């Protein structure tokens, strides 16, 4: 970029051409995202501000972004975040970038678990006491108003002539016509014993990475509580940040450990679901994956061993002991080895095994139930 005035339009055109020459598969989209990040404008606002000049700071930011993208760095690492279903999660180098395929995994888990009940909030003793006090105060006000009306009625009767008293309805209720409580919006004060407490669902998210699965499940289902694990400290730190940023820290706990090894034995047999997007790319396939994935995303989160099932085997074994009877096992796996994965699940006693295709119609998600007693 020279020292001439650069508008949003000219910067978009130049960036698109430059990234196209560098082999970007979608240089126009990349240009829009990078310029949006550099200017703080949404992609839509870029198009209605074509003639706006870029400041020197914006140009400097854009130059750095374009250089990184031209070298093949993923857009998500440059912008620092990605939209995943209904949430936005932070991403950074060293942690796998969430994929649309994994959104399908979350959808299947939510569909397989019991739907949220009409009330999932925990009982609040202080709020209940305040509500009872308000109800009693309103009842007292209604009673006082009824007494006042009755007194007025009696006073009127005392000064009314015999002809007036025979003249029909005065239009005001007597003491025997007091207004029913439900007609003025009153409801019986709730009691703690009658609290229809929602049933919490316990989920383990193994190999959580950014925490996108754990956070999405908790965000979309108020009864879900998640214990998320990852062996990489970078991932654990990021998943905790995402849970906190989304206000889910009280329902998403993140542990550093291999699979479920750090989850206490007292939890075994209590999980409603075990979910995972483990490393599943066969080692022989790794050289074939896109350059920006192979060069920038962590191999630890990609390499699934010779058949892509190196982690699924111990994962299925742990899930068999961690799940309650009828509990759900849900994993995203390599498309060419789904039959082998199903055989492993069956060997550990899982039933109702089925395979779900991803957004590109490739077999991707394995679902299975722990055998009921």
The pair of structure tokens assigned to 121 is 């909030």
117 phi, psi to nearest 5 deg: -75, 175
Question: Are 154 and 112 contacting, i.e. CB atoms less than 8 angstroms apart?
Answer: no
Question: Are 218 and 251 contacting, i.e. CB atoms less than 8 angstroms apart?
Answer: yes
Distance CA(300)–CA(197), nearest Å, equals 42
Question: Are 203 and 319 contacting, i.e. CB atoms less than 8 angstroms apart?
Answer: no
Distance CA(28)–CA(167), nearest Å, equals 86
Distance CA(238)–CA(254), nearest Å, equals 10
The verdict on whether residue 230 carries a ligand-binding annotation is yes
The pair of structure tokens assigned to 146 is 């009824």
Place of tokens 């066969």: 282
Which residue, among 359, 296, 236, 303, has the nearest Cα to 75 in the 3D structure? 296
Place of tokens 């995203």: 332
Q: Which residues of 93-123 are buried (b: 16+ CB within 10 A; e: fewer)?
A: ebbbbbbebbbbbbebbbeebeebeeeeeee
Question: Are 198 and 120 contacting, i.e. CB atoms less than 8 angstroms apart?
Answer: yes
The verdict on whether residue 278 carries a ligand-binding annotation is yes
Distance CA(93)–CA(234), nearest Å, equals 9
Distance CA(226)–CA(235), nearest Å, equals 16
The verdict on whether residue 279 carries a ligand-binding annotation is yes
Residues 6+ apart with CB under 8 A from 63: 1
Distances (CA, A) of 348 to 149, 207, 364: 75, 20, 20
Half-sphere exposure of 21 (CA within 13 A, CB side): 7
Task: Please enumerate, by residue number, every residue annotated as part of a binding site.
Answer: 230, 277-280
Task: Please enumerate, by residue number, every residue annotated as part of a binding site for substrate.
Answer: 277-280
Task: Please enumerate, by residue number, every residue annotated as part of a binding site for S-adenosyl-L-methionine.
Answer: 230, 277
């Amino acid at each position: 970029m020279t020292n001439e005035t650069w508008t949003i339009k000219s910067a978009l055109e130049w960036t698109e051409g430059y990234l196209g020459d560098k082999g970007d598969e979608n240089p126009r989209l990349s240009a829009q995202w990078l310029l949006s990040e550099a200017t703080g404008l949404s992609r839509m606002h870029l198009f209605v501000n074509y003639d706006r000049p870029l400041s020197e700071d914006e140009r400097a930011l854009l130059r750095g972004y374009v250089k990184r993208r031209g070298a093949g760095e993923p857009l998500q690492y440059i912008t620092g975040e990605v939209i995943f279903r209904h949430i936005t999660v932070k991403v950074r180098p060293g942690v796998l970038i969430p994929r649309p395929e994994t959104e399908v995994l979350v959808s299947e888990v939510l569909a397989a678990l019991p739907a949220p009940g009409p009330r999932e909030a925990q009982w609040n003793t202080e709020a209940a006491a305040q509500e009872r006090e308000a109800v009693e105060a309103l009842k007292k006000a209604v009673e006082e108003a009824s007494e006042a009306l009755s007194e007025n009625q009696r006073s009127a009767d005392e000064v009314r002539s015999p002809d007036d008293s025979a003249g029909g309805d005065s239009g005001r209720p007597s003491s025997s016509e007091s207004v029913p409580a439900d007609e003025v919006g009153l409801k019986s004060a709730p009691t703690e014993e009658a609290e229809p407490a929602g049933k919490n669902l316990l989920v383990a998210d193994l190999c959580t990475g950014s925490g996108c699965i754990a956070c999405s499940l908790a965000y979309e289902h108020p009864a879900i509580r998640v214990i998320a694990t990852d062996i990489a400290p970078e991932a654990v730190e990021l998943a905790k940040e995402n849970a906190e940023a989304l206000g889910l820290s009280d329902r998403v706990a993140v542990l550093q450990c291999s699979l479920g090894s750090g989850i206490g034995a007292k939890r075994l047999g209590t999980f409603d679901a075990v979910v995972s997007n483990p490393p599943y790319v066969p080692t022989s396939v790794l050289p074939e994956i896109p350059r920006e994935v192979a060069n920038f995303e962590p191999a630890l989160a990609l390499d699934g061993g010779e058949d892509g099932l190196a982690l699924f085997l111990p994962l299925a074994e742990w899930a068999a002991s961690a799940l309650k009877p009828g509990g759900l096992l849900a994993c995203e796996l390599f498309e060419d080895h789904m039959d082998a994965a199903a055989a492993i699940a069956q060997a550990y006693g899982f039933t109702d095994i089925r395979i779900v295709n991803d957004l590109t119609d490739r077999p991707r998600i394995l679902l299975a139930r722990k055998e009921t007693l």
